[in-house]
């Protein structure tokens, strides 16, 4: 039996629809939620993500600004721009696209963003709040996964969730969210990474298996327990001469084989990526509401 396909397009549309009345109500009070994205350099993946964010803002009537900086921008200049945005009352969300060039200290930059405007939840204050189980901005991708599970009536409580990947922006916050002592979480979490031994022995136990590695077809059918929920966060370009652009986007999971074993699975594209954008919009609206 083939798995249920968790439709990120449809679920993200639901999240966006829920935002419309909230945005209208803010506008009645004279507030237009505003998101500013800073991008240093021209990394193609970052550029495509920034374009998607801009389109989503436009669709919802959220103010959107993209500050494009040259690859050789100094740390001092970037920090000054962030400080200006911190002070600007029309800006409710500030997002600095990662990775940053070598001359810039990423930690210093993330620390400099006002935690009340850190809609991506990457600043140490929001990371600390997340670990402490407090209300905070949560990184959009793992937040989107939690929302997908909730909207698909998949309750992680008591389940064994195995995450592959421990990055600060995806794997670690994903683990923190799933282990929270609260409704919609309460999972038992195992976090795997490149130094994990016999990883297949862990993944095969997963009721919920989450892949955030960045390697096409990494998760194969033999690593998946029959009936597991499989969430594919990976976004990878693979060469494809049949496409005009010469590549296609795939996730970290061998989708065709794994969908025959899993009970539910997210596709790539059309899965978690869509939710990431929607959650970012939601955080921006939330920030604007908090500014009232
Ligand atoms: N859907 C979305 O909206 C969205 C958002 C963000 C990222 N992504 C995608 O998600 C993927 C992960 O992103 P990221 O930023 O978390 O990447 P990352 O920082 O490169 O982290 C990758 C993680 O995978 C682990 N890993 C690598 N090779 C492994 C192996 N052979 N066995 C076990 N673990 C291994 C690494 O382990 P170590 O820590 O030991 O090196 C690391 O923890 C990428 O494809 C990215 O494009 C998607």
> Which residue from 235, 273, 278 has its CB within 8 A of the most atoms of ligand 1, so it is best to mutate?
235
CA 94 to chain CA centroid, nearest Å? 15
Catalytic residue among 120, 232, 252, 254: 120
Q: Specify the residue for token string 């798995």.
A: 3
- Output b/e per residue, 208-222; b: 16+ Cβ within 10 A: bbbbbbeebbbbeee
Q: 64: CA distance to ligand 1 center in Å? A: 28
pLDDT in tens, 152-208: 999 999 999 999 999 999 999 999 999 999 999 999 999 999 999 999 999 999 999
Which residues lie with the beta carbon below 6 Å from any ligand 1 atom? 141, 164-167, 169-171, 192-196, 212-214, 233-236, 272-273, 276
Phi, psi of 167 (to 5 degrees): -70, 160
Phi, psi of 123 (to 5 degrees): -75, 150
pLDDT in tens, 106-128: 999 999 999 999 999 999 999 99
53 carries an active-site annotation = yes
| Per-domain residue ranges of the chain | 30-114, 140-273
Can you give the pLDDT at residue 47?
Answer: 81
Q: What is the mean pLDDT of the chain?
A: 97
CA atoms of 292 and 287, how far apart (whole Å): 9
Q: 102: CA distance to ligand 1 center in Å? A: 20
Tokens matching residue 149: 């599970």
Tokens matching residue 266: 């997210």
Q: What percent of the chain has pLDDT over 90?
A: 96
pLDDT in tens, 68-95: 999 999 999 999 999 999 999 999 999 9
Q: 33: CA distance to ligand 1 center in Å? A: 31
Whether pTM > 0.95 for this model: the answer is yes
Q: 283: CA distance to ligand 1 center in Å? A: 23
Q: 246: CA distance to ligand 1 center in Å? A: 23
For the domain made up of 30-114, give the CATH fold. Answer: Rossmann fold (3.40.50)
Give pairs for 52-58: CB < 8 Å, separation 24+.
52/273, 52/277, 53/95, 53/277, 53/280, 56/16, 56/277, 56/278, 56/280, 56/281, 57/281, 57/284
Atom of ligand 1 nearest to the CA of 276: 3
120 carries an active-site annotation = yes
Can you give the pLDDT at residue 182?
Answer: 96
- With a cut of 80, say whether residue 1 has pLDDT above it: no
Q: Please give the class, per CATH, of domain 140-273.
A: alpha beta
> Which residue from 162, 170, 283 has its CB within 8 A of the most atoms of ligand 1, so it is best to mutate?
170
**Fold agreement (30-114, 140-273):** yes
Tell me if 223 sits within 8 A of 203, measured CB to CB.
Answer: yes
Can you give the pLDDT at residue 43?
Answer: 81
Nearest to 89 by CA among 115, 117, 120, 125: 117
- Which residue's alpha carbon is at the smallest distance from atom 1 of ligand 1? 273
């Amino acid at each position: 039996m083939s798995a249920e396909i968790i439709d990120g397009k449809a679920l993200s549309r639901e999240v966006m629809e829920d935002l419309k009345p909230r945005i209208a109500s803010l506008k009645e009070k004279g507030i237009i939620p505003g998101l500013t994205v800073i991008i240093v350099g021209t990394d193609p993946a970052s550029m495509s993500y920034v374009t998607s964010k801009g389109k989503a803002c436009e669709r919802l009537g959220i103010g959107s600004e993209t500050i494009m900086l040259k690859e050789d921008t100094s740390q001092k200049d970037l920090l000054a721009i962030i400080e200006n945005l911190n002070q600007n009352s029309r800006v409710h969300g500030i997002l600095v696209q990662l990775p940053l060039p070598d001359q810039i200290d990423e930690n210093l930059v993330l620390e400099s963003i006002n935690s009340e405007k850190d809609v991506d939840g990457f600043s140490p204050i929001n990371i600390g709040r997340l670990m402490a189980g407090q209300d905070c901005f949560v990184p959009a991708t793992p937040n989107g996964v939690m929302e997908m599970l909730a909207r698909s009536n998949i309750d992680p409580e008591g389940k064994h969730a195995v995450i592959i990947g421990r990055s600060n922006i995806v794997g670690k916050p994903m683990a923190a969210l799933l282990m929270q002592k609260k409704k919609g979480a309460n999972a038992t979490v195992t976090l795997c990474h490149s130094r994990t031994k016999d990883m297949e022995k862990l993944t095969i136990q997963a009721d919920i298996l989450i892949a955030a590695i960045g390697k096409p077809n990494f998760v194969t059918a033999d690593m998946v327990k029959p009936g597991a929920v499989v969430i594919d966060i990976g976004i990878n370009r693979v060469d494809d001469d049949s496409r005009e652009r010469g590549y296609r986007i795939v996730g970290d999971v061998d989708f065709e084989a794994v969908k025959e074993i899993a009970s539910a699975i997210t596709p790539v594209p059309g899965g978690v990526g869509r939710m990431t954008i929607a959650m970012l919009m939601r955080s921006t609206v939330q920030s604007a509401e908090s500014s009232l």
